[in-house]
Amino acid sequence: MAWLHLLGATVKGYALTPEYPECLFNILEPLQLGESIIADIRNKEKLTGEILSFQPDYIFHLAAQPLVRRSYEIPAETFEVNAVGTANLLEAVNRLSGKCAVIIITTDKVYENKEQDILYNEEDVLGGYDPYSASKACTEIVVSSFRNAFFNIDKIDQHKKGIVSVRAGNVIGGGDFSADRIIPDIIKALKQHRTIEVRNPGAVRPWQHVLEPLGGYLLLGGLLYGDAVKYSGAYNFGPNPADHLTVKELVEMAIKTWESGDLPAGQAGWKDTGDNNQVHEANLLKLDISKAKKILNWQPKLDAAAAIEWTIKWYRQTDAVADFSFNQVKEYMQL
């Protein structure tokens, strides 16, 4: 919302009540950057009414149950929110009379993971071992179905809708306080002078600062609005190959960055807390971003070290956090 506000957009958000009081929504809400509707995406009547009353030119759909480990606890709800919720949204879009570009954000975990050292591209087979990953693969199928059945590019002059799905790598950045996510876990431990507990230190992920894919979504949205025929489809947004790091590497880089501030070196550490009884999570996952580079002329601006540094700086901020957040967006836009 902060980035859209800087671009001069009129914004309407639709989401559940924030789980964590420290989150970016609560930090930015007093600034009244846009209208906020607190409601459930599974409430089709409410969702449809809010969309039709706003008549948006662009829709960025990020509403989801986004956590792998939580999906083991609420598998049916995860499928309902992620797949059916997306269908609710697209059914509402089908009732819009005007032109609209719709960007559906899924995940890098939609691919059938072969646990091999390969870069997954947009043509690879969809799959999902855990309920979260499978629910997002289902979401991609929902998007593909609606794009063919209701928003076919051969009839763009009639429906005037462009639909894309975007698959981002593991994002890090300020404002994330969710449970079972590595950066919040690291920050909590560092602030409390505790040893960082790490479940899967050897797991490889396509880490990137959250502003990287957000910039990609905005770029793609503008291009899609101008030419839905050319840009419709699916796109990966992730880091360059060298920035696919293990969790261990991420943790140690975060510790080093944190200690380069006002803490003496050697005061923080981590330990492996994984065990054979923990739920399955992907061990090796890498993304091929050549399509976004070639077709959208998009590319990452921050390497892994810079992404971690920007993230740690945000969490070190103790006052004027909203201003700091805006300044990070502005700084990124100038890169």
SS3 per-residue string spanning 82-109: HHHHHHHHHHHHCCCCCCEEEEEECCHH
Q: CA-CA distance, 129 to 277, in Å (whole number)?
A: 16
Q: CA-CA distance, 316 to 128, in Å (whole number)?
A: 36
Q: Band of the pLDDT at 261, cuts 50, 70, 90? A: low
pLDDT higher than 80, residue 61: yes
What was the pLDDT predicted at 275? 85
What was the pLDDT predicted at 222? 98
What was the pLDDT predicted at 335? 95
Q: How does strand 244-246 pair with strand 204-206?
A: antiparallel
3-state per-residue secondary structure call for 161-215: EEEEEEEECCEECCCCCCCCCHHHHHHHHHHCCCCEEECCCCCEEECEECHHHHH
| Coil, helix or strand at residue 210 | coil
Per-residue pLDDT averaged across 20-44, rounded?
A: 93
pLDDT higher than 80, residue 295: yes
Asked whether 134 and 128 are in contact (CB, 8 A), the reply is yes
For the stretch 318-332, pLDDT in tens is 899 999 999 999 999
Tokens of 249: 């590497």
| Coil, helix or strand at residue 220 | helix
- Phi and psi based region of residue 8 (left: phi greater than 0; alpha: psi -120 to 50; beta: remaining): left
Q: Give the amino acid at 317.
A: Q
Which residues lie below 8 Å from residue 251, measured CB to CB, with a gap of 6+?
182, 186, 196, 198, 201, 270
Which CATH superfamily hosts domain 2-333? NAD(P)-binding Rossmann-like Domain (3.40.50.720)
Residue 315: which H helix or E strand, with range?
helix 304-316
Q: CA-CA distance, 277 to 275, in Å (whole number)?
A: 5
Average pLDDT, the chain: 94
Per-residue pLDDT averaged across 41-65, rounded?
A: 98
What was the pLDDT predicted at 297? 98
Task: Tally Cβ neighbours within 10 Å of residue 168.
Answer: 24
Report pTM.
Answer: 0.95
What was the pLDDT predicted at 267? 57
For the stretch 118-136, pLDDT in tens is 999 999 999 999 999 999 9
Q: What is the largest CA-CA distance in the chain?
A: 64
pLDDT higher than 90, residue 290: yes
Asked whether 63 and 81 are in contact (CB, 8 A), the reply is yes
Q: CA-CA distance, 278 to 199, in Å (whole number)?
A: 9
Q: Find residue 235's DSSP bridge partners.
A: 166
pLDDT higher than 60, residue 106: yes
Tokens of 315: 């969490």
pLDDT higher than 70, residue 263: no
Per-residue pLDDT averaged across 23-30, rounded?
A: 90
Rg for the chain, CA atoms, rounded:
20
For the stretch 63-99, pLDDT in tens is 999 999 999 999 999 999 999 999 999 999 999 999 9
What was the pLDDT predicted at 255? 93
What was the pLDDT predicted at 265? 46
Q: CA-CA distance, 201 to 250, in Å (whole number)?
A: 9
What was the pLDDT predicted at 262? 54
- The rounded Cα 243 to chain-centroid distance in angstroms is 17
Asked whether 274 and 221 are in contact (CB, 8 A), the reply is no
Per-residue pLDDT averaged across 198-227, rounded?
A: 96
Q: CA-CA distance, 138 to 11, in Å (whole number)?
A: 28
Tokens of 260: 């380069």
